[in-house]
Amino acid sequence: MENVFEELNKINVNEHTENKNGLTYLSWAWAVAEVLKKYPDMRYDIKKFADKDGVLRPYMYDENTGYMVETCVTIGDITRCMWLPVMDNNNHAMKSTRYEIATKYKTIVVEPATMFDVNKTIMRCLTKNLAMFGLGLYIYAGEDLPEEPQQTPAEKAKATREANKEKIAELNDKGTKTIVWLKGLNRDLTVEENTKVNGLLKELEAFTECKEVANELAGVLLDKDEIGV
């Protein structure tokens, strides 16, 4: 199997997120669908925990700290798990009973968790779990865009050539026009003109694709007694 992390980590998920109270959330439905498109054998498991009566619940609960859910995702032979507390809209841990948080300016009331809250948290946990495989991981790092995939030396060279294509064309055109101008010039170059022409020659010599024009320009300059190339 190809590198799952690299494949999912390069996907831009920005159009499928929303911001709430300073946090960015990725649509769980879109995230699951996107992974299944690429890896149809993806499986996920919602962990069950036994309560004091031995009944299995899709969460674990502590009266002091609140609820916690856990999911595990498997793609190919790789399994990764993630945990997430059940929180209210203000990101406060929810418990089985209503409680208050006293701050310097006000008292915050945290309502008891319902199964609706648990269900939402499970799906958020699953989305975060998928981020462990690369999908939208940059969101949790506070970044704006996914990491660019690593390029091989050959790919980097090709990308550089593509990026320089327009510049090379402009330099060749400028060099050709300068050659025509120099050949028709019946006077000595000024110091400023000399500096500009030699600067252009150095730019041309920096690119293999400009070698022919650079050589011709250098030859024309040699014909000028006051120019030392």
Asked whether the beta carbons of 136 and 31 are under 8 A apart, the reply is yes
pLDDT in tens, 157-189: 777 777 788 889 999 999 999 999 999 988 888
List domains and CATH numbers for the chain. 4-140 (3.30.390), 153-222 (no CATH)
Average pLDDT over all residues of the chain: 89
Q: Please, which pLDDT band fits residue 148 given cuts at 50, 70 and 90?
A: low
| Cβ 6 vs Cβ 146: under 8 Å | no
pLDDT at position 208 is 87
Task: Round to whole Å and give the CA distance between 128 and 205.
Answer: 51
Cα–Cα nearest to 68, from 95, 45, 42: 95
Q: What tokens appear for 150 in the block?
A: 């690593």
pLDDT at 227: 46
pLDDT at 143: 55
Q: Which residues of 168-183 are buried (b: 16+ CB within 10 A; e: fewer)?
A: beebbebbeebbeebe
Residue 145 has pLDDT above 80, yes or no: no
Residue 99, pLDDT score: 96
Taking the C-alpha atoms of residue 95 and residue 86, their distance in angstroms, rounded to an integer, is 8
Using alpha carbons only, give the angle 112, 116, 121 rounded to the nearest 5 degrees: 90
* Cα(95)–Cα(110) distance, integer angstroms: 8
Dist CA 165 CA 171 (whole Å): 10
Q: For residue range 82-137, list pLDDT tens digits in order.
A: 999 999 988 899 999 999 999 888 999 999 999 999 999 999 999 999 999 999 99
pLDDT tops 50 at residue 228: no
H-type alpha helices, the chain? 4-9, 28-38, 115-131, 137-140, 153-183, 191-205, 211-222
Q: What are the residues facing 20 on neighbouring strands?
A: 23
DSSP assignment letter at 87? B
Please count the CA atoms within 13 angstroms of the CA of 154 that sit on its side-chain side.
0
Question: How many angstroms separate the CA atoms of 65 and 94, rounded?
Answer: 8
What was the pLDDT predicted at 2? 61
Q: How far apart are CA 224 and CA 37, in angstroms?
A: 67
Average pLDDT over residues 42-63: 96
Q: Is the pLDDT of residue 151 over 70?
A: no
